[in-house]
């Protein structure tokens, strides 16, 4: 469910006509719906309401300061992965004390920054990391709260680049070696054993792998509670969203029309399956969803540059590119693409929808059916709220896109389009070339 819909012929986000946003702020521009994020947060919380829950929004999905503040206002902490992300939480006026710090290669400076700001816990990925964290904590005269990431060796049945819970991934400590890792951790003077963590992958479309992983790890979690008095179990993130029928999935009617065995994962199904497995543990449960919280809450607006009619193929060339949204090029991901002004009298066109970047990979959609569009008309790439702007680059010296947040009938620029001076400001031509 989300708040993007046609009101008359024009695509709206909540009560805002998206063409007005495109005209005022130009394109490419990301637009986020505050109400959709609120709903996603509330549904997740309600879906697991039988548990003592802390939602740590995985801010790698979308770390715009306004988005962070919105989630903090709702009561979320954050799952963060770098010193930069710690600084973003603080800059957003939010609290690091309900946030967890993950990642396989935290530097000493990042560990110190997290400790100085009262991080809830470090999610530790290896034994050398235990040593490093204890060392930094000792230097600061502190005890570092930690949880070890246990790798359950479960296949998440998702794209190979975003599966993380198999034994051949770089993440976590295998279940068979985890007891020894906790014993080692308990011997460090500056570590406090606070929890246990797992995360098996991203964009999971069925609850079965989550259930399999929780069932595999739960007995070990109970042992840790008895032995060390751990306080929480983080089951990670990974809940998938609808990409194919993105626009239609904003309406309840679409969900009702799906056959039960075809229905994509919902927070209600997820909660119903996992709550009975987690409740008996009597621990605080942390969730680290990123994509589910923001994915369907954002679109990328673009303008048509040309309709190029080829011999056997049409190309709709737009002003957004793979530097703005890398997911189709990187993961062959599908994003629904819709016109901002729908005109049912127009012919349908089959075209590759491409950006202006000089490589063939700069393609958002192949042989896609879309209403015929011409130069200057706008379209929206749906489900772009997660891993969109956050993964953008400056390839081809294209500036970072603008970002806009919608709230009811109001909208505000929450990140101005980057300027050429900002892009090149740190570059220098050395004296020996002059």
Residues that bind ligand LLP (CB under 6 A): 58, 61, 79, 102, 162, 164, 199, 202-203, 236-239, 288-292, 327, 331, 387
Least Cβ distance, residue 426 to ligand LLP (angstroms): 26
Residue number, 19 or 391, with CB nearest to ligand LLP: 391
Q: Which residues lie closer than 8 Å to 369 by C-beta, 6 or more apart?
A: 348, 349, 350
The DSSP result for 377-405, as a single string, is: -EEEESS-SSSSGGG---GGGPPPPEEEE
Q: Catalytic residue at 358? A: yes
Residue number, 185 or 204, with CB nearest to ligand LLP: 204
Residue number, 134 or 163, with CB nearest to ligand LLP: 163
Residue number, 85 or 377, with CB nearest to ligand LLP: 85
Q: Which of 339, 322, 340 is nearest to 331 (CA)?
A: 322
Pairing state between β 402-407 and 121-124: unpaired
Least Cβ distance, residue 288 to ligand LLP (angstroms): 4
Least Cβ distance, residue 291 to ligand LLP (angstroms): 4
The residue at minimum Cβ distance from ligand LLP is 237
Least Cβ distance, residue 24 to ligand LLP (angstroms): 28
Residue number, 199 or 225, with CB nearest to ligand LLP: 199
CA–CA distance, 323 with 316 (Å, rounded to integer): 17
The DSSP result for 259-308, as a single string, is: -TTTPPP-HHHHHHHHHHHHGGG-SEEEE--SHHHHGGGEEEEEEEEEEE
Residue number, 172 or 250, with CB nearest to ligand LLP: 172
Q: Which element (helix H / strand E) includes 337?
A: strand 337-339
The DSSP result for 218-244, as a single string, is: HHHHHHHHHHH---EEE----B----T
Per residue in 326-335, is it b (16+ CB within 10 Å) or e — as a string?
A: bbbbebebbb
CA–CA distance, 110 with 227 (Å, rounded to integer): 30
Q: Which residues lie closer than 8 Å to 336 by C-beta, 6 or more apart?
A: 243, 244, 245, 246, 247, 381, 382, 383
For the beta carbon of residue 348, count every other beta carbon within 10 angstroms: 9
Residue number, 234 or 415, with CB nearest to ligand LLP: 234
Q: Considering the candidates 13, 56, 358, 363, report the single residue annotated as catalytic.
A: 358
Least Cβ distance, residue 388 to ligand LLP (angstroms): 8
For the beta carbon of residue 253, count every other beta carbon within 10 angstroms: 8
Which residues are identified as catalytic?
A: 358
């Amino acid at each position: 469910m989300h708040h993007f819909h046609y009101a008359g012929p024009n695509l709206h986000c909540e009560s805002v006509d998206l063409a007005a946003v495109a005209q005022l702020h130009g394109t490419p521009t990301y637009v986020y719906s505050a109400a959709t994020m609120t709903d996603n947060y509330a549904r997740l919380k309600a879906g697991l309401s039988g548990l003592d829950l802390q939602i740590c929004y995985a801010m790698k999905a979308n770390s715009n300061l306004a988005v962070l503040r919105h989630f903090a206002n709702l009561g979320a902490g954050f799952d963060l992965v770098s010193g930069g992300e710690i600084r973003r939480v603080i800059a957003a006026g939010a609290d690091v004390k309900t946030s967890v710090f993950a990642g396989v290669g935290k530097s000493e400076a990042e560990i110190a920054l997290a400790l100085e700001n009262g991080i809830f816990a470090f999610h530790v990925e290896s034994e050398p990391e235990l040593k490093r964290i204890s060392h930094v904590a000792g230097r600061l005269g502190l005890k570092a709260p930690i949880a070890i990431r246990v790798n359950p060796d479960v296949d998440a049945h998702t794209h190979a680049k975003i599966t993380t819970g198999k034994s051949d991934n770089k993440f976590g400590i295998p279940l068979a070696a985890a007891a020894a890792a906790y014993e080692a951790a308990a011997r460090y003077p500056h570590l406090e054993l606070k929890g246990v963590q797992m995360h098996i992958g991203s964009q999971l479309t069925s609850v079965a792998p989550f259930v399999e992983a929780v069932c595999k790890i739960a007995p070990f979690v109970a042992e840790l509670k008895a032995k060390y008095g751990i306080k929480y179990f983080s089951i990670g993130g990974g809940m998938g969203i609808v990409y194919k029928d993105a626009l239609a999935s904003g309406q309840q009617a679409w969900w009702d029309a799906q056959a039960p065995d075809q229905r994509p994962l919902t927070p209600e199904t997820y909660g119903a399956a996992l709550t009975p497995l987690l409740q008996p543990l009597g621990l605080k449960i942390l969730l680290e969803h990123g994509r589910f919280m923001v994915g369907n809450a954002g679109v990328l607006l673009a303008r048509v540059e040309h309709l190029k009619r080829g011999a056997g193929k049409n190309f709709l060339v737009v002003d957004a590119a793979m530097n703005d949204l890398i997911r189709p090029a990187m993961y062959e991901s599908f994003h629904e693409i819709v016109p901002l002004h729908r005109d049912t009298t127009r012919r349908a066109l089959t075209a590759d929808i491409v950006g202006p970047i000089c490589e063939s990979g700069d393609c958002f959609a192949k042989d896609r059916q879309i209403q015929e569009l011409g130069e200057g008309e706008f379209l929206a790439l749906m489900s772009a709220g997660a891993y969109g702007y956050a993964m953008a680059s400056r390839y081809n010296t294209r500036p970072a896109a603008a970002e806009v947040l919608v709230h009811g009938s109001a909208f505000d620029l929450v990140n101005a389009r980057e300027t050429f001076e900002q892009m090149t400001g740190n570059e220098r031509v050395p004296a020996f070339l002059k």
